[in-house]
Structure formats: structure tokens, C-alpha cells
Structure 1
Amino acid sequence: MSDTSGWGPQAPYGGQPGPYGGPQGPYGGPPPGWGWAPPPPPPKPGVLPLAPLGVDHVLGGTFATMRRYAKPLFGTAVAAYGLLAVVMATAAALAYLSVREHFQALSETDATFSWDHGRPILIAFGAVWLMSMLATLAVNSFIQASCAATLHEAVLGRPATFAAVWRRAWSRTPSVMGVTLLLAFILMLPLGACMLLFVSFFVTVMTQSAAPFGLVFLLLLVVTPLAAWLYVLFAFAPAAASLETAGPFQALRRSVRLVRGAWWRTFGISLLAGFIVGVVSLAVRIPLQFAAPDPPVVDPDDPTSAILFDQLRSQFGLYAVFTLVATFVTQLAASVFLPLVTAVLYIDQRIRKEGLAQALTQAAAEDEADARQGAPVSPSPSP
């Protein structure tokens, strides 16, 4: 059986692609004889046809992967988020225990704020916040790697177990983390410009000068398209880091090479995927907002603490549990759907530019031959 793990370049950039990848394939030239017949459909051993993909194939292959490989996909994601919740709860509990005396000192009646008590609290929970950012980055990178690892098997219709996907994704998480950190920094550029725009608005109001607001607005107009261009240019880097066992910088170069000439297509399909996630999220959120219980009537004679307690208590209970579960399920689906779309687009560009379909077709034929002979098909080829 051919081992296609790693998925390094199958042909040099600009070289002769294989079947279904360009005019040199057996289906690209005119058929012999006087008549003409349409070419046979491309092989489809798994969730994707081994040929250049249209938008319907990209989305259809993504949904098919989520349906057929739900256990390894969502199982690894749920396990990763569960581990993140345990780590964060433990860190918060340890931080509280380490500064409990300072909390009690500030909570006493007629107590005034003192930096002797406030500084340790800020340091402890600042460390928890920093650790939560790093842990979230690691979990998101792991989920992206697990999606690519599952798609690696789904393209050829091979089985993918939870344990195999976990091992393969965990081994590629550090490389994907490096790529994800850069992509997060790129997204922070327009967010930082928006924050500066908000601050410059107040500066303009106080100083009655429009120069700060105008300059920051121009900066936002420049930064936002630049960030979008860079983000799409490096969009395939997580998939390359997972499927080609590439390092972060090598994965970034591979993404630039594959996206070149297909930037608008990659941007459009990724935007469509984001729009689908947004519509589904709104379809879940809006009914929940209408179903929210009415807050209790406020009595002006009640103390502030009692009013706040009544307001909070009205938002808990069965409604809060249902809202939390619905939000988690929506977030879980989005965290799997978007990386899968990007990974499918990566495979599509590999088929178009590097003739990856030829290697995958050969691997699928060998898998079929092994199955006929009774040889087991490995669910997770070693990298």
C-alpha cells in the first residue's frame, strides 16, 4: 500500500501535473477516433473527487467528512476543550488559594483598596490570563491539526480512529502553533487599529481637533486590506504544517506558493464558509434571546446586593444550561468546519498545481488491491 502521509510536493511547481490536474492527464486531450464521448468521472475513493474541485465539492466534501468521521473529529475537539476547561479551572483555583488572604482583606467591611493587597491579586490572575491565552492557542492549533489528520484519511476513504488522529495531531501541534500565532498577530492589526480609532475619537472630542481621528481612520483603511491579504496568503500554512510535516516557516512558504494565482478564489470560499457559520450561529442565538426569562421587578427599597443577586438568579437555571450547551455545540461545529474547508482548499490547490490527484489515485488503487487480498488497511500511516 502506498503511504501518502507527509504529502510533500508530488511535482515541481509549474511542472507536469498528473491525471485530472492539467492538460497532460489522460482526460485532458481529445479522445481517439471519430466520435466524442465525455470523459469518465474522476475517482472518488473518499469524501472528495480526485480532480480540481468546485465550490460544491469543497463544501460537500467538508460536510461529508464531518458526517462520516464525526467520532475522531468531534471526539478530539471535545477532549481538547474539556482538557482546556480542567486546566483553566485548576489554574484559577490555585491562583485564588495563593492570594486568598489578600481577597479577604479587601472584602472586609470598610476596607479600602491598597496596592499591598491588590498587586498580588493582579499578578496572580494576570498569570492565569496569560496561561489561558497560551492554552487556548495550543488547543485551537491541536484542533486544526486533528482536522487535517482526519481529512488525510477521509480523502482516500480510510478509517480514522480517535487514538490515531490524536497521536498525529499532537505531533504536529507545535508547528501549527507557530503558524497560528502569526495568523493571530495578523488579525490583531485591524483590531488594534479599531481600538486606536476609538481612542482617537475621544481625543478629537476633548481637543476639538480632527487630525488624530483622521490619521487613525486612514491607518485602518490601509491595515484592514493588508491584514486580509496576508491572512489569506498564509491560510494554507496550518494544513501544510499538518499534512506535509513542515515546520512553521516552511509551511508559510508553501501556503504562499499555493495561494499565488488563487487568492480571490481562496478568499471567496473562505468568506462563504464564515458566512455559513455566522448564519448558523444567529439561527441558534436569536431564538435563545427571545426565550430568555424576564428579569424580576426591581424594588428601589432593596439593597444593591439583593437586586444584583435577583438579576443573576433569573438568568440561571435550565435556560442557562440550555444556552451554554447550544453555544458550545455551535462553537464546536465552527472550530471543526472552518479548518476543514481550508484543508480541502489546500488539497484542491495541490491537485491543480502539483498533480496530487495522481498520487492519491495510485494510493487508492493500492488500497483497493490490498482490500481484495485481505490485507488490512492502516488507518493512520506513519509520517
Structure 2
Amino acid sequence: MTDMWGQGRGQGPGYGPGGYGWGGAWTPPPPPPQPGVIPLAPLGADRILGGAFTTMRRYAKPLFGTVLIVYVVLAALMAGALALAYAAVSDDVRALLDRHTEFEWSHARPVFTAFGVVWAVGMLALTVGTAFIQSACTVVLREAVLGRPARFGAVWRRAWSRTPSVLGVGLLMGLIALIPAGLAVAFFVSIFIMLITQSVAPVGMLFLLLAVTAPLVVWVYTLFLFGPAAATLEEAGPIQALRRSARLVRGAWWRTFGISLLAGAIMMVVSLAVRVPLQVAMPDATPQAYQPGQSASDVFEAMLPKLGFVMALSMICNLLVQLVSSVFLPLVTALLYIDQRIRREGLAHTLELASRSDA
């Protein structure tokens, strides 16, 4: 397993306490070097979050440009898949929408199958796109830490070569997340069964299972949080990256969890700061007056102009929030990974040598 920053894992140069110079005067310790967005020393939460925002500002083109291109490709792929699916089952769709015909499974089955395939293709493409974005953000951060420019083509080549490994890490972590998700679905299904059968036994059992497994899943998920960064920067396979992450997080679980949770809370505040004013200022899309004899199509036509504006504005705001969160959260995770390697492996010395060799 190679390392994009070199093999050196010894202790770096001393940036420790100062000493007493001539005449007994106290000399403060030399400040750690900072060739890029962070000082090459153990980082606090403020440095990690600040480094993520600084990277977003200085490297906006390769970061947001990459994410935007991925989203455009995904949107084009979904539009093409939907068009192909509709072309394949257009007769069945028209038969289902015809008011004068009864509902028949012979028409509904191919429609559900076609659009189910579209959904599956879309989820697969989104998973691959997310893995590529995580890898690209980590590659850009590497250049940002060293104070070097991130060239668009180089970022894409490097990120794409590591996407399969990051995708494997994401799929394995997704399997972990399926446990509480499945239990939550089963819990709500059991509530429905309880309302019918008046039996509370399945609800209580599933609630206890959910209460026990949810913290365990959060613990394991945090333990493997550095997997995408290790897969990209250390060129590790999925299993190797997860093992590497577990070794780095062990002993710093609460710190990793707390800073990651804080980053998520920041993105939630940003999302609310964008969406709440939009909801307040958004025009009412409902028609001003409704006549008793008015048909549904007439009501829809009256709503269409305002509804289209509302949907377009909401889509743009959601896209902006998604762009920021897609970049910010992987950057924070990668900075936490770098911080742990600085603390445990003397990575600061390797980073300083790499930055000097490029100067």
C-alpha cells in the first residue's frame, strides 16, 4: 500500500515547547510551517472547520466545478433513462391515464417495472457520482494542504482512478447503515400491525432492538469514517481502507464524532438559512378563487405559472445547498484524517518535505 505523501511515518521536526536563550530570556517555540490552508501541526476543531472553508474559497473552481459537472451528467443520464422508459411503456401509461378504462395490472406491471429499473439505474449512478466527488474533494485537499494549485484534469484523473476503491468503502458503510434503516421500517410496520391486532409485543421488541443497534451502528460508522480518505490518499483497497480508518479513529472516537456532528450541524444551519427565507418570500401557488364547477385541469392551469416559478427557485436553492454540503463534509472528514496522522505518525514532517520539494 503506497502513500501519496510518501512512506515516512516517523516523528517530525520539533515544534514543541520553547526554551531559555542567552540571559535566561524565554524563547517561544517556532510556529509550525503553513504552506497551504492548515498549519502542519495538530489541529483543533476551529482549524479543521476553518481549513475546510478556506479550501472551498481558494479552490472553488476544481471543487464546485467537479460537483456541478457530476450533477449535470447524473441529470442527463436520468433524463435519458426516463425518456427511454416512457418510450417503451407509453401505450401502457396512456391506458392507465385514460379515464374511460379500468385499472388493469397488465398495463401497470410494465410501467412499474420500467420506472423501477430507472430508479435502480439512478441510485447506482448517484452512488458512483458520490464516490467520485468524495475522492475528488480529497485530492483537491491534498494540494490545498501543500499550497499547490489543483489542476482540473489532474484532479479528475486521480479521483477517477481511486473511485472504485472509494465506492467499495461507501457500499460497505451503506450495508452498516441498512441495519437501523431496516429496523426503523420494521418498527413502523409493527405499529401498523399493532393498530390492527391490538398487540404491543412486536412494537416493544423492535423498539428495544432499534435502541440497542442504533448506537452500535453510529459507533462502527464513525470508526470507518476515514475510509474514503485512506482509499484515496493511501491507495488502499476497500477493506484495507476500513481497517486503516479503524486504527486511526481508535482512541479519538469522541473527537471524530463530535467534529463530524458539528460539521453536519453547520450544514443544517446553512440549509435552514437558505430555505426558510425562501419559504417566507415564496409566492402562493394556489389559485386565488375556486369555482365549484371548475375542473381539475382548469385549477392546474391557473396554478402552473406560479408553480413553475416556485419549483424552479426551490430547485436552484436545493442545488446550491447540495453543492456546498457535498464539498464541505468530505473536506472536514479528510482534514480529520490528516490531523490524526499528524498526531500519531508525524505526517507533518512528510508534508513539510513535500511542500519544500515543490517550492
Contact 2:6-2:350 within 8 A present in 1 as well = no
Higher mean C-alpha deviation, range 355-364 or range 204-213: 204-213
- Cα displacement (A) at 1:91: 0.6
SS of the residue corresponding to residue 37 of structure 2 reads coil
Contact 1:43-1:50 within 8 A present in 2 as well = yes
Alignment of 1:220-231 (within 5 A): 220-231=210-221
Once residues 54 and 167 of structure 2 are traced to their aligned partners in structure 1, the CA distance between those partners, rounded to angstroms, is 27
Aligned to 2:130: 140
Once residues 53 and 354 of structure 1 are traced to their aligned partners in structure 2, the CA distance between those partners, rounded to angstroms, is 14
**Aligned partner of 1:157: which letter?**
G
Q: Please, which of 272, 291, 295 is the counterpart of residue 299 of structure 1? A: 291
Contact 1:5-1:152 within 8 A present in 2 as well = no
Q: Deviations over 1:265-320 (max 9, x none)?
A: 00000000000000010011111111222211333322234334444543212x33
Once residues 206 and 9 of structure 1 are traced to their aligned partners in structure 2, the CA distance between those partners, rounded to angstroms, is 63
1:89/1:351 CA distance change after superposition, 3 Å: same
1:312/1:189 CA distance change after superposition, 3 Å: farther
Q: Please, which of 6, 12, 16 is the counterpart of residue 18 of structure 1? A: 12
Aligned to 1:374: none
1:312/1:10 CA distance change after superposition, 3 Å: farther
Alignment of 1:85-100 (within 5 A): 85-100=75-90
Equivalent residue pairs, number:
354
SS of the residue corresponding to residue 308 of structure 2 reads coil
Q: Please, which of 48, 51, 58 is the counterpart of residue 41 of structure 2? A: 51
- Cα displacement (A) at 1:154: 0.5
- Cα displacement (A) at 1:128: 0.6
**Aligned partner of 1:354: which letter?**
E
- Cα displacement (A) at 1:32: 6.0
Higher mean C-alpha deviation, range 300-309 or range 144-153: 300-309
Higher mean C-alpha deviation, range 56-65 or range 111-120: 111-120
Report the TM-score when normalising by structure 1.
0.88
**Aligned partner of 2:136: which letter?**
S
Alignment of 1:118-267 (within 5 A): 118-267=108-257
Larger relative CO (CA 8 A, sep 6+): 1 or 2?
1
- Cα displacement (A) at 1:366: 2.0
Contact 1:48-1:57 within 8 A present in 2 as well = yes
Q: Please, which of 356, 359, 364 is the counterpart of residue 350 of structure 2? A: 359
Higher mean C-alpha deviation, range 193-202 or range 27-36: 27-36
Q: Deviations over 1:193-244 (max 9, x none)?
A: 2222211112222222211111111111012101111111000000111111
Q: Please, which of 310, 319, 323 is the counterpart of residue 332 of structure 1? A: 323
Once residues 32 and 76 of structure 2 are traced to their aligned partners in structure 1, the CA distance between those partners, rounded to angstroms, is 46
Contact 1:9-1:354 within 8 A present in 2 as well = no
Is 1:320 matched up with 2:311?
yes
Once residues 262 and 309 of structure 1 are traced to their aligned partners in structure 2, the CA distance between those partners, rounded to angstroms, is 58
Once residues 268 and 38 of structure 2 are traced to their aligned partners in structure 1, the CA distance between those partners, rounded to angstroms, is 25
- Cα displacement (A) at 1:133: 0.5
Alignment of 1:274-285 (within 5 A): 274-285=264-275
- Report the RMSD for the aligned CA atoms in angstroms: 1.8
Is 1:6 matched up with 2:18?
no
Aligned to 1:342: 333
- Cα displacement (A) at 1:113: 2.1
Aligned to 1:380: none
- Cα displacement (A) at 1:324: 1.5
Contact 1:77-1:143 within 8 A present in 2 as well = yes
Once residues 291 and 267 of structure 2 are traced to their aligned partners in structure 1, the CA distance between those partners, rounded to angstroms, is 42
- Cα displacement (A) at 1:9: 5.4
Report the TM-score when normalising by structure 2.
0.94
Is 1:288 matched up with 2:278?
yes
1:310/1:230 CA distance change after superposition, 3 Å: farther
Once residues 153 and 336 of structure 2 are traced to their aligned partners in structure 1, the CA distance between those partners, rounded to angstroms, is 26
Once residues 305 and 51 of structure 2 are traced to their aligned partners in structure 1, the CA distance between those partners, rounded to angstroms, is 45
Q: Deviations over 1:119-141 (max 9, x none)?
A: 21111111111001100001111
Once residues 346 and 30 of structure 1 are traced to their aligned partners in structure 2, the CA distance between those partners, rounded to angstroms, is 28
Once residues 27 and 115 of structure 1 are traced to their aligned partners in structure 2, the CA distance between those partners, rounded to angstroms, is 73
Once residues 130 and 124 of structure 2 are traced to their aligned partners in structure 1, the CA distance between those partners, rounded to angstroms, is 10
User: Identity across aligned pairs (percent)?
Assistant: 56
Contact 2:5-2:350 within 8 A present in 1 as well = no
- Unaligned 5+ segments in structure 1 are 20-25, 369-383
**Aligned partner of 1:328: which letter?**
L
- Unaligned 5+ segments in structure 2 are none
Is 1:27 matched up with 2:21?
no
Once residues 360 and 131 of structure 1 are traced to their aligned partners in structure 2, the CA distance between those partners, rounded to angstroms, is 41
- Cα displacement (A) at 1:115: 2.3
Once residues 283 and 317 of structure 2 are traced to their aligned partners in structure 1, the CA distance between those partners, rounded to angstroms, is 17
- Cα displacement (A) at 1:341: 0.3
